[in-house]
Structure 1
Amino acid sequence: MTTLTGTWLTLDDGRPAVRLTRTYPRPVERVWRYVSDPAELRHWFPSPFRADELEPGATVFFSDAPDAAEQGATGTVLTADPPRGLAYTWGGDELRFALEPLGDGGTRLTLTNVLETATGAARNAAGWELCLTALDAADSGRAPDGPHTGASGPWKELYDAYIAAGFPSGAPVPGLDDLT
């Protein structure tokens, strides 16, 4: 049985989103580096980025995107509040990272992917599930098991499970739709 940690929601402004949360036994400053430092992003993020500055309005440059159409894509920093929060655009989506220090010295990381269209919910939730599993492994000092992105193996199982859980689907799936 596949364990799903994502939730499907509609934000107060009516936009669709998926949200995943993880807790790490690290201080908030350490977890901030997981979401903002290109060297740390390489361990888990599907398309590492760099930004000359992490401040609202700054351009974010993405590389190594799983979808060749996204190579060289850019986004815009929407908010940056080190070490508590970071949000930026990526294609038609918006990514929000909220970090909350916990009383035990750990940190709760909440990733909210505001979707361009609801049909991306199952696809993106499955992808973020694998990405955060890779971050969990990196946080524990382990190498991730297999690829953490792509349309094969674990991703497809998660995707199907999110569809079965009622998440909207139908958005193109790079690498999978190309095979049909």
Structure 2
Amino acid sequence: MTVIDPGSYLELEGGRPAVRFERVYDHPIDRVWALVSEPAELAYWFPFPEVAMEPVVGGEITFSGDSNMPEVVVTGEVTAFEPPHLLAFTWGGDALRFELTRLDAARTRLTLTDFLDSADAAARNAAGWDLCLAALDARAAGGSAAPPAAGAHDDAPADPPAGRPSTWRRRYDAYVAAGLPKGAPIPGGA
């Protein structure tokens, strides 16, 4: 796996804020499509490990099962479904778009764009997607680590040792330092 864009802030479609990530996987497009579109594969890396999806434009997609927020169920609508190249859906006030491009028989580029409801969510969401994509990278490499939680807590304890911020917080701070807008509420108050 090669990181092309580790996470950048953009304004798209009439000024709508977005964060975008790009990776190249050493896998055929059908394998990468399975990783980003099949609920059983999404369980390994998506913020909510339980995903139910009607794989048609206009179909419902539901996310649940976050151990940090067990009561939370998010529903959205599939807005594009073009196997094995494009999956897009609404998620809360955001819209997610997974675009796959076959580079050759054994390599695929994945572009993930999160169209944000508000610009101040850029650093928060970028840090979250950074963790999720690290889990996706591990899954693509054959690993099966636990998925990141949708909340702000990740692989660090809820109360890390004094002076040691969580992995999520370090990534968030790095995106803020890189100039991504901040200010949106952070789940768990991290």
**TM-score, reference length from structure 2:** 0.84
- Superposition deviation, residue 65 in structure 1: 4.0
- Superposition deviation, residue 142 in structure 1: 2.6
Q: Deviations over 1:2-40 (max 9, x none)?
A: x98101000032100000111111111111111111110
Aligned length: 173
The equivalent residue for 2:148 is 148
Mark the CA change 1:155 to 1:16 in structure 2 (over 3 Å): closer, same or farther.
same
Mapping of residues 83-94 of structure 1, within 5 Å: 83-94=84-95
Moved beyond 4 Å, runs of 4+: none
Mapping of residues 149-164 of structure 1, within 5 Å: 149=149, 150-152=151-153, 153-164=166-177
The equivalent residue for 1:41 is 42
Q: How large is the Cα RMSD of the aligned pairs?
A: 2.1
Aligned AA (1:157): R
Mapping of residues 18-97 of structure 1, within 5 Å: 18-47=19-48, 48-51=50-53, 53-65=54-66, 68=69, 71-97=72-98
- Superposition deviation, residue 54 in structure 1: 1.1
Which consecutive unaligned segments of at least 5 residues does structure 2 have? 154-165
Mapping of residues 93-172 of structure 1, within 5 Å: 93-103=94-104, 105-144=106-145, 148-149=148-149, 150-152=151-153, 153-172=166-185
Q: Deviations over 1:50-90 (max 9, x none)?
A: 11x21111111111247739722210000100000000000
Q: Secondary structure at the match of 1:171?
A: coil
Q: Deviations over 1:77-133 (max 9, x none)?
A: 001000000000000000000000012521111100000000000000000011000
More strand by share: 2
**TM-score, reference length from structure 1:** 0.88
Using the aligned pairs only, state the percent identity: 50
Which consecutive unaligned segments of at least 5 residues does structure 1 have? none
Contact residue 6 and residue 125 of structure 1 kept, 8 A:
yes
Aligned AA (2:121): G
